[in-house]
Amino acid sequence: MASGMQEKQYAPSLLSFFIYNPKFGPREGEEEKKILFYHPIEIEKNEKIRNVGLCEAIVQFTRTFCPTKPAKSLHTQKNRQFFHEPEENYWMVMVVRNPMVEKPNKDGKPPTVEYQEEEIIDSVYGSVLKQCYSMYKLFNGTFSRAFEAGGVELLTQKLEKFFYRYLQTLHLQSCDLLDVFGGISFFPLDKMTYLKIQSFVNRVEESLSLVKYTAFLYNDQLIWSGLEQDDMQILYKYLTTSLFPRHTEPEVRLH
């Protein structure tokens, strides 16, 4: 087969990501007030309102059948929508385009597109959405805290400042079960070296009263942490995907 007739494969990609609160625009004509953040920003206003309204309807519909367990995902042929309510009435929605294969046809006909819906695992991408909130909370506190401090204006400013940058670090094509369990890569050390590092960390914390918790890493592998496991998982995710991605700098070796 000629190179121009080869199949083209497309990995899953982020179509949209938005955060809304239905309590902020309860009346007709005020629907836009519900929207606290929307990516991509260039989407037309009415389409944003329509997409948020659809999500609201899905959540309300599923709650009639199971009030304690709202919708977590919606499957369609072309995409998958994920829903998360991290705080009361604050909803986060992530829409992922399903991976697809574009197969060429003979006689100049348009290529045939096959969507591979089974490649998207709900538990994996649902965890990615939850991590988005946990990462925001790590640096900014809760949504409610920002709203109480400065109203909708401050909240939207914080959301825009954080998520416009953070969403660029999402590599949906490489998400796997490590995202579900918050996996951490540990650096293997012999017992004596590990004890020396632990002793060093203890001396640092004793001599510097401002230091409450310490994490010790070698490149992108963890050696020691005094943080709670949940907090360390989120911090590790930030360090390895945003602060010092392994693919941007060569490994530093000490001699």
Q: For 82-129, write each residue's pLDDT tens digit.
A: 999 999 999 999 999 999 898 888 777 888 888 888 888 899 999 999
- What is the domain count for the chain? 2
User: In the predicted model, what is the mean pLDDT of residues 229-243?
Assistant: 81
Domain boundary among 180, 198, 223: 180
Domain shared by 134 and 208, yes or no: no
User: In the predicted model, what is the mean pLDDT of residues 11-34?
Assistant: 90
Is the model's pLDDT at 1 over the cut of 50? no
The per-residue pLDDT for 161 is: 96
Domain shared by 135 and 152, yes or no: yes
Name the helix (H) or strand (E) containing 14: strand 13-20
Its pTM stands at 0.80
Domain shared by 8 and 117, yes or no: yes
Nearest residue to 84 via CA among 75, 99, 74, 76: 74
* Contact between 146 and 38 (Cβ < 8 Å): no
Taking residue 133's Cβ as centre, other Cβ atoms within 10 Å add up to: 19
Q: Tell me: the pLDDT tens digits for 55-78?
A: 999 998 888 887 778 889 999 999
136 is in which domain, residue-wise? 3-180
Residue 251 placed within a domain: no
Domain shared by 109 and 225, yes or no: no
- Using CA of residue 193, residue 197, residue 198, residue 200, what is the dihedral sign? positive
| CB neighbour burial string for 75-96, b if at least 16 within 10 angstroms, e if fewer | eeeebbbbbbebeeebbbbbbb
